[in-house]
Structure 1
Amino acid sequence: MTHDDPIAPAHPAEAAILASGLRVEPREMPQLTRLVARRLPADRDAVAEALCQVRRKAWASAAMAIANRAGQVWVRRAEADAAAASLTDPDAGEEAIRAALDAAVQSRLRQAAARPGAALEIVEAELQDITGSALSAERHAALAQAVARAHGLDATETDRFARAAAHVEERRRQDFRQAEKAAREKRREEVARLRAWEKSLVGIEGIPGLLRCSEREALRWAGAGLLPVARRIPGRDGRERWEFDPAEIIALRRELPAWRREAERERDPRDAGRQSPRAARAAEEAAGRGGKAANAAVARAAALDRYAAHFATARALIRRIILVTGPTNSGKSHTALDRLAQAESGLALAPLRLLAHEFRDALAARGVEAALSTGEERILAPGSRHLAATVEMCPFHMPVDVAIIDEAQLLHDRDRGAAWTAALMGVPAREVYVLGAPECVPMVKRIAQLCGDTVEEITLQRKGALHASDRPLHAGDLKTGDALVAFSRRDVMDLREGLVARGRKVAVVYGALSPEVRRAEAARFRSGEADILVATDAIGMGLNLPIRRVIFSTLRKFDGEERRELNSQEVKQIGGRAGRFGHHEGGVVAVLAGAGDPGFVRTMLEAPPAPPAELRPQVQPDADIIAAVAAEIGSDSLFGVLARIKRAVLRKDDPNYRLADLTQQMAIASAIDGVAGLSLMDRWTYAMCPVDERDNGITRLARWAIDHGAGHAVRPPLAGRLPPPDRASGEELQRCEKVHKRLVAWRWLALRFPQAYPDLVEAETETDRLDSWIEDVLRQQRRARRAA
């Protein structure tokens, strides 16, 4: 429609549009009329402003098209929207849109970091999050020039910066390619070595030829445990085929005369009932390993089938295990902490950094100052003989009077169970308070038996009744003090958004949040600033919250392998947070309408402890075991060492232990085995670093390792410019949570390699900044924008 349209306007807004003389497309007229109607009386400037508003969406799309044609993959939709919003000429063409976009992008690149080098790294990391791959050399150079211009460098300085950035990037790519190639070659060598070793093995029928003995002698010596069995292969009939390493067997020839003399003495009637020293030692070793014969040299070096003996300090003590079990809210921690505070020296081991802090605070409240040790944090307490730590940081060579190991049911956890095995077997304390749900009792007793420790049981009852609701609850039924439980971050944020839209004040807790933010959100709920808590099962461990009712939004969860129904332990652990003693007389566990049958919750709450599917504790190698196996097989390949441990150390039906899942450690080993400048022990440390594979964690870790090995300082990951919390999108919140997790891994490595990771203060400052920003975003009680 134009100003000379012959049809008379039917609305004052249309009249104002016609009077403005501005060219308007017919499809734009309905929206423009509505906007102008709000501005009446409207002059030409008011109509032009409204027309710009109508055209902003198309301008933003045009801006993105311009960026795509120029190959500027670093341009985000937010910059395109900002560029469109800055245009004031309704007839703005491509040149004006390009200029506005350049200004918006330069503003973002300038505010990403104070230094152009840091800004370049931040933007590259963001792009890698989106695309999953590095920029091409050409686009990397273009980005470097854009960053330099945004930071006010002149043409000469921009060219110099771009060349330097290209040189650094090319060196990194070359180092990465070399490391990848070396890792592949090492892996091929180790696989070939392992296959050659397996091919060289012989069965029991090959022993007479190797030892120059009779078949009868070979069978007798193998049964007595004198011949090291390299591998056991289960047969279909339930019998095993034993295979032996010829090199090890041949080395035993010098023992044959002694073995035969002992056999003669054992056949002498005068020696009836008397066992030879060698036979006694063999029998003792077999008994100590559940009656099975020795493994091959690798297995003997690793000694995972005698894992309890690995902890010499603990075995030198006479330990008493006090097993304190009970449901959630039964006072287990209170009982143990009282005893720990009375001891002259002590140790409190927690499953989470948040809980380690709470243990430290609880000891301080009892008048005992304690140090703190977690994967990425150390707090010293000079003169103190008490320590609060995460389970993985258990000090195995520091004897104390009393130790606490919390959440012992995690012995059964697929990912972290081996850490609890090590802590329970190796904690060097005369009194060990083991706290957990009733489901942990059989495994704790089994481990105590393997260690030769005595066990005293204390069973506590819940303080305050807990019962299941008879009816499902609707969102409108939720009241102050309720906790709504989901099992994914997305579901938590969706539920939060729905409740906020209803005018409720909501706090959230989920696994991606740092301990500091979880604590702040818990404080908001505790103080009444938030009416309702929406949380994942992270609520089930460590947070002391005055919850009145726990309402499940679903009765199914994805456990990393499959989507399944919640089990009894999970319902009890999470639901037990309802009715906190001292805040409510009792607790209620309910189901959100449409989420499932309330009777299921009642059944799970009333179910007795389920018998464990597996009573063999999980074990995994530590640095000493890695070094011993490497020396035994003569290899510097971490992948090769782990492959041999996985293949040869513990048979699948070992009666006492089972090998923990080493998949992630082997994946990291494959990625960094070819890194020059890192020792085997350095690479093992990297393999234990907590990274998220879903966030390209192993690739990022390999890049850090390459820089470390080359003698370059590894800079901490940074988030760059953060939008005001009240304008942050869900996408931006999620990006900052990822950066925070990367900082956790970086700080973990910085404590172990301070020279390669020197900027710890900067990393801690950035961590604090992200904590504050994320908490401010979560405080915003408005309808959140969904993540893209």
Structure 2
Amino acid sequence: MKSLLGAACKNPKHAVPGLAGRWHPPRLSVAWFSATPVPYRSKASSKSRPRQPVDPRSLRTGMQRDQDASSSKNPARRPESAVRRNYQKFHDFTMNRFGKLVESLGSFAMAQEEWRSFGVTSQSQLDREISLFKSVLTKAFDLATEAGKTSRTENPLFWNLRNAFIRAEAPGLHRELKYAFQTFLMRSRFPKAVNELHMAISDLRFPYEWYPATRMMQRTVHLHVGPTNSGKTYNALKALENARTGIYAGPLRLLAHETFTRFLAKNKPCALVTGEELRVPSDSDTWFHSCTVEMTPLNTRVDVAVIDEIQMINSDDRGWAWTQAFLGVQAKEVHLCGEERVVPLIQALCARIGEKCIVHRYERLNPLSVMDDSLKGDFRNLRKGDAVVAFSRVNIHQIKKGIEQKTGRRCAIVYGSLPPETRASQAALFNDPDNDYDFLVASDAIGMGLNLEIKRVIFDASYKFDGVGIRQLTIPEIKQIGGRAGRYRTAAQEAKGDTTAAPPGLVTAMEDEDLHPIRQAFSKNPPAIATAGLFPPSTVIERFHSLFPPRTPTSFVLARLRELSRLSPRFHMCDFTDAMEIAEIIKPYDLSVADRCVFLNAPVVLRDPKQVVALEAFAKCVAELGSGNLLDFKEIDLEVLDEPTPAHPSQQTQHLHRLESLHHTITVYLWLSYRYQGVFQSQALAFKIKEMVEAKISDHLEQLTFVPDVQRHRRQRMRRLAAKTEEKERSLLGPEEEELPPHHEEEVGGFEGEEELFEGEVDEVEGKDLEEGEVERDTEGLEQDGQPKARESEGFAEANKV
């Protein structure tokens, strides 16, 4: 309990009815509490301010940028009174959300079975627990305001609430309050011996020990680091090709498919393993593996393993997959490819497990420079070999249409969710110098090393929508994408025997306003990577779950595991949010703990209600051993395949969203079909429907039109939002903290001045007032291409069990 609430868990005397103190709460009912907001007044407050409604959208943005004044490197930047006002707003909003939470949970009579599972046996006891928890919340805010204690170690309850709010606004705060309240209710239910077992199982300081078969090997780690187009991945793949057996693990499905195709072209048997696709050679006993990093086979002993983009080991969402692959892959030689900033971390991890680490540093093979001028928004300034990088699928197709209209020449497109064969053909058309495909429009997926012969990279924008808000691109993102310009020697040159190096790569933007941040990014170096991501394997979750009473919600078990987990300084815990939300969705169904652990990893997009409903149907099917025939699931929106494309633009957008939702749902079905082969048996039909959906999406996107004024207006408005966010971040964080990645767990938030920042802009941020395609929540990028939630490797078998 103390690990969650910290010092705030000490029940203050004034919080217990009947005892002396500054506040004596009455015996509350659920209805009374949910209807009564409690304004926060810290001890340091000398004046009472009238309570004002709190807008959660402006609140979150401010919270993301505030550093607590007492622990900041520069405490004089924000006055103490401003900090108190910020935390007063957050306290009021938190209390309001807690009231709504209690109302949604229901009275004791309405949800008796669930309340009893948390040790509550009467309405009066529930009212008292609500009152006490409310006091704990107030104490946590007192610690933050008066003592300046806002860190995870000093004030975990406040830190968790604030972090949840930064990441997911009001819904995230609601979920975190629920887990915190459940933990509070369970504080006295576990005997000392059980608590000690909890602490022992949640000790994750030694993840190296999760892979005993790997630790018995003496591996050699080769770390290939350098900028883009320096040959690091090329040399690692050469080592893989010269081996007898091996594994390639990359961040994207399209990279896994590219390597798979490369090995087949060289007559080397190779298997393709991704979250939704499995192709195994039928005419060979041994083969190479090309897979997404989540699917790295850990129980297969090979000569060489290549793990690409190793700097992503620091990701809050997917870093655990690189950690798992690096620590667990059974290869005599492990080749890691990535950025220079990951070297200290990998060397430290290798020293910890007693393995030799050889660092190979590479310089860029040809120069790269940022141009002085942009394209001035005019596609007629494009040159043959140019690639325009955009950040949504709709925008990619609109730009393609605009380029072809303005130039009269053809334009290829490449993005993550294109079928592999289509991507390969589009790349080949662009790479061929003898046809009329002069230009390319691509997503930021090209930054991950696709084989494209680009002469100049042009950023459509220097900002992107990241699922929460519009933000500036980070320094590593800009460098990685821009670095794809200028190949050392193209395939056409090699075919002709031409040894002349290609001209320097060039980077620019569509408009001048975006060129300045791009130039700045190339003049800076991002900080070194300090920690690797970690997520408990299913065996740990199952053992931890077994120590709780029957019917204990899995979401609470995960919350408890997250809070009790102990990590070494070289690791950080990856985000649990999606796993806990999936656990809540499937809670009504009678699934074993092992089955629940499988569903926790399902690659479902939780913001889509249609996918959530489909996930519930899939869980029910497994629980009841029902028919897993694809056509029996009425929750799958197959009717959209028979509907013609609407004529009205707003209906077209809705139609596209339905098609994308169906595509994701079929992907989840295919993902489950590999894990429940006896249940979800319509795999061939699912692949066929997936192809039909992809064809309809492609036809729809081909019909999009390009209107220059609309595109210009979109850029201006979104640039203004991103620039204001950047300016506000600079004024609140200062230069030392500016380079923290978006939603980094050490970022903290505040509210001072956010009303000015977001006045009149809220609807734009939420995507409610933008033209079609201006903000697409299903953004292209690494998470979509690499199955972010597939937290279990196919190879986590007996040899490497905990």
TM-score, scaled relative to structure 2: 0.59
Q: 1:726 touches 1:777 (CA, 8 Å); kept in 2?
A: no
C-alpha distance in structure 2 between counterparts of 1:582 and 1:774, whole Å: 35
Distance 1:587 1:454, change over 3 A: same
Aligned to 2:460: 553
C-alpha distance in structure 2 between counterparts of 1:357 and 1:657, whole Å: 30
Distance 1:787 1:556, change over 3 A: closer
Distance 1:479 1:743, change over 3 A: same
Aligned to 2:602: 689
Aligned to 2:476: 569
Where structure 1 has 5 or more consecutive residues not aligned to the other structure, the ranges are 1-180, 200-231, 237-243, 252-294
Distance 1:783 1:661, change over 3 A: closer
Distance 1:706 1:741, change over 3 A: same
Aligned-partner residue type, residue 659 of structure 1: M
Aligned-partner residue type, residue 770 of structure 1: V
Aligned to 1:217: none
1:623-679 Cα offsets, whole Å, 9 max, x none, are: 21111112233556422321221121237xx53432211100000101112202x21
Partner SS for 2:206? helix
Aligned to 1:106: none
Aligned-partner residue type, residue 443 of structure 1: L
Equivalent residues in 2 for 1:65-144, closer than 5 Å: none
Aligned to 2:623: 709
1:75-123 Cα offsets, whole Å, 9 max, x none, are: xxxxxxxxxxxxxxxxxxxxxxxxxxxxxxxxxxxxxxxxxxxxxxxxx
Counterpart selection for 2:235 from 331, 335, 343: 335
- Between the two proteins, the alignment pairs up a number of residues equal to 517
Where structure 2 has 5 or more consecutive residues not aligned to the other structure, the ranges are 1-107, 130-151, 157-186, 491-501, 631-635, 711-770, 774-802
Partner SS for 1:768? helix
What displacement does 1:234 show? 3.2
Deviates more, 1:508-517 or 1:418-427: 508-517
Counterpart selection for 1:591 from 485, 509, 513: 509
What displacement does 1:619 show? 0.9
Aligned to 1:414: 316
Q: 2:399 touches 2:706 (CA, 8 Å); kept in 1?
A: no
What displacement does 1:415 show? 1.3
Aligned-partner residue type, residue 608 of structure 2: D
Aligned to 1:363: 263
1:439-458 Cα offsets, whole Å, 9 max, x none, are: 32233223323433221100
Distance 1:782 1:671, change over 3 A: closer
Partner SS for 1:442? helix
C-alpha distance in structure 2 between counterparts of 1:554 and 1:184, whole Å: 51
Q: Does 1:650 align with 2:563?
A: no
Q: 1:714 touches 1:756 (CA, 8 Å); kept in 2?
A: yes
Equivalent residues in 2 for 1:386-785, closer than 5 Å: 386-474=288-376, 475=378, 476-502=380-406, 503-527=408-432, 528=435, 530-583=437-490, 584-598=502-516, 600-612=517-529, 615-635=530-550, 637-650=553-566, 654-676=568-590, 678-696=591-609, 697-716=611-630, 717=636, 718=638, 719-721=640-642, 723=644, 732-775=655-698
C-alpha distance in structure 1 between counterparts of 2:112 and 2:255, whole Å: 43
Q: 1:466 touches 1:586 (CA, 8 Å); kept in 2?
A: yes
Distance 1:321 1:588, change over 3 A: same
C-alpha distance in structure 2 between counterparts of 1:699 and 1:705, whole Å: 10
Q: 2:369 touches 2:506 (CA, 8 Å); kept in 1?
A: yes
Aligned to 2:250: 350
What displacement does 1:509 show? 3.3
Aligned-partner residue type, residue 642 of structure 2: R
1:482-518 Cα offsets, whole Å, 9 max, x none, are: 1112223343344334334324433333445444443
Q: 1:675 touches 1:705 (CA, 8 Å); kept in 2?
A: yes
What displacement does 1:250 show? 6.9
What displacement does 1:472 show? 1.4
Partner SS for 1:752? coil
1:736-763 Cα offsets, whole Å, 9 max, x none, are: 3332222211100111112221111100
Aligned-partner residue type, residue 757 of structure 1: F
Distance 1:366 1:645, change over 3 A: same
C-alpha distance in structure 2 between counterparts of 1:588 and 1:695, whole Å: 39
Q: 2:383 touches 2:438 (CA, 8 Å); kept in 1?
A: yes
Q: Which has the higher contact order (CA 8 A, sep 6+)?
A: 2
C-alpha distance in structure 1 between counterparts of 2:540 and 2:686, whole Å: 32
Aligned-partner residue type, residue 688 of structure 1: N
C-alpha distance in structure 1 between counterparts of 2:111 and 2:325, whole Å: 35
Q: 1:407 touches 1:437 (CA, 8 Å); kept in 2?
A: yes
Aligned to 2:18: none
C-alpha distance in structure 1 between counterparts of 2:394 and 2:704, whole Å: 17
Q: Considering only CA atoms, is the larger Rg found in Structure 1 or Structure 2?
A: 1
Partner SS for 2:369? strand
Partner SS for 1:508? strand
Q: 1:245 touches 1:296 (CA, 8 Å); kept in 2?
A: no
What displacement does 1:305 show? 1.9
Q: 1:725 touches 1:780 (CA, 8 Å); kept in 2?
A: no
Deviates more, 1:635-644 or 1:457-466: 635-644
Distance 1:562 1:441, change over 3 A: farther
What displacement does 1:562 show? 4.1
Query: Where in structure 1 do 4 or more consecutive aligned residues deviate above 6 Å?
Result: 183-187, 244-248, 724-728
Aligned-partner residue type, residue 599 of structure 2: Y
Partner SS for 2:205? helix
Q: Does 1:326 align with 2:226?
A: yes
C-alpha distance in structure 2 between counterparts of 1:310 and 1:483, whole Å: 44
What displacement does 1:398 show? 1.9
Q: 1:325 touches 1:435 (CA, 8 Å); kept in 2?
A: yes
What displacement does 1:722 show? 6.2
Equivalent residues in 2 for 1:15-26, closer than 5 Å: none
What displacement does 1:362 show? 2.4
Q: Does 1:304 align with 2:204?
A: yes
Q: 2:409 touches 2:438 (CA, 8 Å); kept in 1?
A: yes
Equivalent residues in 2 for 1:277-292, closer than 5 Å: none
Identity of aligned residues (%): 32
Aligned-partner residue type, residue 404 of structure 1: V
Distance 1:520 1:420, change over 3 A: same
What displacement does 1:335 show? 0.9
Aligned-partner residue type, residue 453 of structure 1: E
C-alpha distance in structure 1 between counterparts of 2:208 and 2:419, whole Å: 34
C-alpha distance in structure 1 between counterparts of 2:668 and 2:213, whole Å: 30
Larger relative helix fraction: 1
Equivalent residues in 2 for 1:30-45, closer than 5 Å: none
Q: 1:396 touches 1:426 (CA, 8 Å); kept in 2?
A: yes
CA RMSD of aligned residues (A): 3.5
C-alpha distance in structure 2 between counterparts of 1:778 and 1:526, whole Å: 23
C-alpha distance in structure 1 between counterparts of 2:391 and 2:704, whole Å: 22
C-alpha distance in structure 1 between counterparts of 2:489 and 2:459, whole Å: 23
C-alpha distance in structure 2 between counterparts of 1:479 and 1:691, whole Å: 40
Distance 1:769 1:316, change over 3 A: same
1:123-165 Cα offsets, whole Å, 9 max, x none, are: xxxxxxxxxxxxxxxxxxxxxxxxxxxxxxxxxxxxxxxxxxx
